[in-house]
Structure 1
Amino acid sequence: MPGWLQAVLIAVAVVVVSWLVLIVLARRLPPGVAKDLAGFLPDCVTAMRTLRTDPRVPRRAKVALLIAVLWVLSPIDLIPEFLPVIGPLDDVIAVALLLRYAGRTVPRQVLLDAWPGDPYLLERLLGPARPTTTTD
């Protein structure tokens, strides 16, 4: 087996293991910030899968969500995935920023409906709701 293929397989295995650790932590930790952080990426993946097929989501928001998914799946990271707990931190930050960007163009209720986790966490991430303007 070529060396580059072994490196790719090892990188994929490390990412999968770190995701499994996050999923287990999200289910086992007591309620609090650590549990919210551990469940953040799995909740984002579920929400993004729902939002990409929703007709109420604008194309540019779907592109931002696609970039977030590609960032998470990419084996190239600012912080290596093999570092326990802090490895996925750059993924969390990138996804949070892209989700916040998408939150400016997607109706808030659509985001809340797609979010499987604690809605309070998503509300904190998105910030205060923008007032809707009506034209007569």
Structure 2
Amino acid sequence: MKVFAMWKRLTLLWTVLRGDARQLWRALRHPASPGWLKLGTALIAMYLLSPVDLVPDVLPFIGVVDDLVLVPLAIRWLLRRLPPDIAQATARR
């Protein structure tokens, strides 16, 4: 039963992340996208690619969980700080 609940949470997380990632991509391509958005996105990408982690990936399960939690939170944080006109334009597509 626990495996099913965990799988359901991961599926929900993937759905949210996929939608947020698409909106972030559209916001980055928007002509009026702010510089801080590009910087924040670059920092998120560097965190994902960096061998240095808050929790090392060699630890089974826990090492990957920090990436699965922190990256979607960081993306959502950036999207909530978008100027209203850019947020509306990217959410409509």
Alignment TM class, shorter chain as reference: 0.5 to 0.7
Residue 105 in structure 1 maps to residue 82 in structure 2: yes
Q: Is the 8 A contact 1:79 1:90 kept in 2?
A: yes
Moved over 6 A (4+): none
Q: How many pairs align?
A: 83
Unaligned 5+ segments in structure 2 are 1-6
- TM (norm. structure 2) is 0.58
Q: Is the 8 A contact 2:21 2:75 kept in 1?
A: no
Deviations 1:78-116 (Å, cap 9, x if unpaired)?
112233433222223332342233221253341574xxx
The answer to which structure has the higher helix fraction is: 2
Q: 1:93 to 1:34 in 2, by over 3 A?
A: closer
Unaligned 5+ segments in structure 1 are 1-30, 114-136
- TM (norm. structure 1) is 0.44
Q: Which has the higher contact order (CA 8 A, sep 6+)?
A: 2
Residue 93 in structure 1 maps to residue 69 in structure 2: yes
Larger radius of gyration: 1
- In the TM superposition, 1:1-136 aligns within 5 A as 32-37=8-13, 39=14, 43=18, 47=22, 48-103=24-79, 104-106=81-83, 107-109=86-88, 110=90, 113=93
Q: Percent identity?
A: 26
